[in-house]
Amino acid sequence: MKARAGDELIVKGQHVGDADRQGVIIEVGGEDGGPPYLVRWSDGRESSFFPSAGTVVEHIPLPVDTRARES
């Protein structure tokens, strides 16, 4: 799994009825986008995280600065 700071992390619930956990990766500790990741979870807590089965990373595209193209 590869990720970068700013990507959204979703951990699927392990059992029927379990809620998904969502967070934002604020720091990548491994080489080439690998874990461990420092994650700020939706409840405000932060923790070091090593992904397991059921973990999905959604890459958030960086906004394009159109002003640079206008010059």
* pLDDT 10s digits, 16-40: 999 989 999 999 999 999 999 999 9
Share of residues in the chain with pLDDT > 90 (%): 48
CA dihedral (50, 52, 54, 60) in degrees, to 10, reads 30
Q: Can you give the pLDDT at residue 65?
A: 60
Say if residue 61's pLDDT is above 80. no
pLDDT band at 54 (very low <50, low <70, confident <90, very high): confident
